[in-house]
Structure 1
Amino acid sequence: MEFVRELSDELRDLLSSNSSEDARLVQKGLLLYRQGMVQQLQVEKNGITAVVQDVMPAKVLLDPDFLGLSECSCPSDELCRHQMAVFFAAYAQVGSVSDWVTEWREPARETKSVVAWGIQKAKDLVKANGLLKPDYKRWVDSFEKSFEALLGEKKHKNPFVVTELFGIYRRQLQASAPVEQEWRLLYELVSVVVSFRMLAQLSERMGHAEDAVRRSYGHLFEAMVDEADELVEKIGMQTLPFDFDEFVVGLRDDTFELLTVVNGLEQARIALYRLLWNGLFRKTLWREAELEKVRDRTKSVQDDENPLPLVAAEIHLCVLLGEDEKAFAKVDLVRDEVIVPFMLYWIEYLSALKAWKRAGRWIDEFLQKLKEYLESNESYGGFHGRSGFVRTMLRAITPYVAENGRADVYERALLSSLPYSYAEYEYMLFERSMYDRWGELQAFLGMEFQDLPKDRVKVIEKERPEVLLGMLHQAVQREIDQKNRGSYRMAVRHLKKLRTLYKKLKRVDDWEYFLEGLLERTKRLRAFHEECTRGKLIAEKVE
Structure 2
Amino acid sequence: MLQTSLSKAVLDQAARQLKKEVTLSNQSAMKKGLKLYREGFVYNAAIVQNGVIQANVLDENVYKPTIYFTHLSQSHCQCSDSYVCPHLLALFFYLYSHVGQIGELIREWNTKRTGNILPLTKASELVTPSSSVRNWINQFQKAYHLFFAKSNKGDYAFIHQLCYRFFPSLLNEAPMLLVEKRLYHLHAALFTFCRLLEEGQHYQHISYYRSFWIANVSEFMETIKKKCEDLAKVSIPKSFAPLLEESREYVRHILFAGDALMDERIAIYQMVWSVLFHNEEWNQQEKEWLLQRQEERGDIVLECQLALAHLAFLRGDDEETFSLLKKLKFVPIPYVIIWIKNLIHGQQWERLKHWWELCITSMEWYLAATNYSDGAIITRELLYLYDRYAKATGDDENYEILLQVLLPYSASDYSYFLLTSKQYKKWVDLHLLADIDVNNIHRSFLKVVETYDRSLLLPLYHHAVHKMIQLKKRESYKMAVKHLKKLRTYYRALGKKEVWNRYITKLVEEHKRLRAFQEEIQKGKLLNDQKV
Mapped to 1, the partners of 2:522 and 2:143 lie a distance apart of 85
CA displacement, residues 62-89 of structure 1 (integer Å, 9 cap, x when unaligned):
xxxxxxxxxxxxxxxxxxxxxxxxxxxx
1:225 and 2:225 equivalent? no
Q: How does 1:328-407 map to 2 (within 5 A)?
A: 328-336=322-330, 339-376=332-369, 379=370, 381=371, 383-407=372-396
Query: Contact 1:479–1:488 at 8 Å: present in 2 too?
Result: yes
1:275 and 2:271 equivalent? yes
Q: How does 1:95-494 map to 2 (within 5 A)?
A: 134-151=131-148, 156-204=153-201, 206=202, 208-209=204-205, 211=207, 214-302=210-298, 305-336=299-330, 339-376=332-369, 379=370, 381=371, 383-494=372-483
Per the TM alignment, residue 388 of structure 1 is displaced from its structure 2 partner at its CA by: 2.0
Mapped to 1, the partners of 2:521 and 2:203 lie a distance apart of 68
CA displacement, residues 385-435 of structure 1 (integer Å, 9 cap, x when unaligned):
422221122223333333444434121121112111112211222233322
Mapped to 1, the partners of 2:312 and 2:499 lie a distance apart of 64
Structure 1 residue ranges without an equivalent (≥5): 1-131
Mapped to 2, the partners of 1:152 and 1:396 lie a distance apart of 47
Query: Contact 1:151–1:165 at 8 Å: present in 2 too?
Result: no
Q: What is the CA RMSD across the aligned residues, in angstroms?
A: 2.7
Per the TM alignment, residue 361 of structure 1 is displaced from its structure 2 partner at its CA by: 2.2
Q: Which amino acid aligns with 2:377?
A: G
Query: Contact 2:349–2:389 at 8 Å: present in 1 too?
Result: yes
Match of 1:495 in 2: 484
Q: Which amino acid aligns with 1:252?
A: R
Mapped to 1, the partners of 2:149 and 2:452 lie a distance apart of 70
Q: Mark the CA change 1:353 to 1:225 in structure 2 (over 3 Å): closer, same or farther.
A: same
Per the TM alignment, residue 188 of structure 1 is displaced from its structure 2 partner at its CA by: 0.7
Mapped to 1, the partners of 2:227 and 2:161 lie a distance apart of 23
Per the TM alignment, residue 353 of structure 1 is displaced from its structure 2 partner at its CA by: 3.1
Per the TM alignment, residue 374 of structure 1 is displaced from its structure 2 partner at its CA by: 1.3
Mapped to 1, the partners of 2:395 and 2:206 lie a distance apart of 41
Q: How does 1:34-53 map to 2 (within 5 A)?
A: none
Q: More deviation in 346-355 or 264-273?
A: 346-355
Mapped to 2, the partners of 1:202 and 1:486 lie a distance apart of 57
Q: Which amino acid aligns with 2:336?
A: M
Query: Contact 1:461–1:468 at 8 Å: present in 2 too?
Result: yes
Mapped to 1, the partners of 2:477 and 2:227 lie a distance apart of 66
Mapped to 2, the partners of 1:459 and 1:470 lie a distance apart of 16
Match of 1:73 in 2: none
Q: More deviation in 486-495 or 309-318?
A: 486-495
CA displacement, residues 471-520 of structure 1 (integer Å, 9 cap, x when unaligned):
11122233334445433322211111111222333433432343344344
Mapped to 1, the partners of 2:445 and 2:134 lie a distance apart of 66
Mapped to 2, the partners of 1:515 and 1:212 lie a distance apart of 57
Tell me the SS of whatever aligns to 1:354: coil
Per the TM alignment, residue 362 of structure 1 is displaced from its structure 2 partner at its CA by: 2.4
Q: Mark the CA change 1:361 to 1:235 in structure 2 (over 3 Å): closer, same or farther.
A: same
CA displacement, residues 349-383 of structure 1 (integer Å, 9 cap, x when unaligned):
2333333343222221222121122122xx1x3x3
Mapped to 2, the partners of 1:447 and 1:521 lie a distance apart of 24
Per the TM alignment, residue 436 of structure 1 is displaced from its structure 2 partner at its CA by: 1.8
Query: Contact 1:159–1:212 at 8 Å: present in 2 too?
Result: no
Per the TM alignment, residue 142 of structure 1 is displaced from its structure 2 partner at its CA by: 0.1
Per the TM alignment, residue 536 of structure 1 is displaced from its structure 2 partner at its CA by: 1.5
After TM superposition, the score normalised by the length of structure 1 is: 0.68
Query: Contact 1:480–1:488 at 8 Å: present in 2 too?
Result: yes
Identity of aligned residues (%): 26
Q: Mark the CA change 1:148 to 1:199 in structure 2 (over 3 Å): closer, same or farther.
A: farther
Mapped to 1, the partners of 2:359 and 2:503 lie a distance apart of 47
Tell me the SS of whatever aligns to 1:407: coil
Mapped to 2, the partners of 1:213 and 1:185 lie a distance apart of 32
Q: More deviation in 253-262 or 338-347?
A: 338-347
Tell me the SS of whatever aligns to 2:527: helix
Mapped to 2, the partners of 1:216 and 1:423 lie a distance apart of 34
Per the TM alignment, residue 165 of structure 1 is displaced from its structure 2 partner at its CA by: 4.3
Query: Contact 2:162–2:192 at 8 Å: present in 1 too?
Result: no
Q: Mark the CA change 1:301 to 1:152 in structure 2 (over 3 Å): closer, same or farther.
A: farther
Per the TM alignment, residue 524 of structure 1 is displaced from its structure 2 partner at its CA by: 5.3
Q: Mark the CA change 1:435 to 1:207 in structure 2 (over 3 Å): closer, same or farther.
A: closer
Mapped to 1, the partners of 2:352 and 2:278 lie a distance apart of 20
Mapped to 2, the partners of 1:331 and 1:482 lie a distance apart of 47
Q: Mark the CA change 1:424 to 1:441 in structure 2 (over 3 Å): closer, same or farther.
A: same
Query: Contact 2:174–2:181 at 8 Å: present in 1 too?
Result: yes
Query: Contact 1:419–1:445 at 8 Å: present in 2 too?
Result: yes
Per the TM alignment, residue 467 of structure 1 is displaced from its structure 2 partner at its CA by: 2.0
Per the TM alignment, residue 268 of structure 1 is displaced from its structure 2 partner at its CA by: 1.0
Query: Contact 2:469–2:476 at 8 Å: present in 1 too?
Result: yes
Mapped to 1, the partners of 2:266 and 2:379 lie a distance apart of 21
After TM superposition, the score normalised by the length of structure 2 is: 0.69
Per the TM alignment, residue 443 of structure 1 is displaced from its structure 2 partner at its CA by: 0.7
Query: Contact 2:424–2:456 at 8 Å: present in 1 too?
Result: yes
Query: Contact 1:397–1:410 at 8 Å: present in 2 too?
Result: yes
Match of 2:89 in 1: none
Mapped to 2, the partners of 1:473 and 1:162 lie a distance apart of 58
Query: Contact 1:266–1:308 at 8 Å: present in 2 too?
Result: no
Q: Mark the CA change 1:193 to 1:161 in structure 2 (over 3 Å): closer, same or farther.
A: closer
Q: Which amino acid aligns with 2:187?
A: V
Query: Contact 2:340–2:352 at 8 Å: present in 1 too?
Result: yes
Q: More deviation in 315-324 or 500-509?
A: 500-509
Mapped to 1, the partners of 2:209 and 2:130 lie a distance apart of 34
Paired residues, number: 404
Mapped to 2, the partners of 1:152 and 1:420 lie a distance apart of 49
Match of 2:113 in 1: none
Query: Contact 2:159–2:216 at 8 Å: present in 1 too?
Result: no
Per the TM alignment, residue 527 of structure 1 is displaced from its structure 2 partner at its CA by: 4.1
Match of 1:90 in 2: none
Tell me the SS of whatever aligns to 2:179: helix
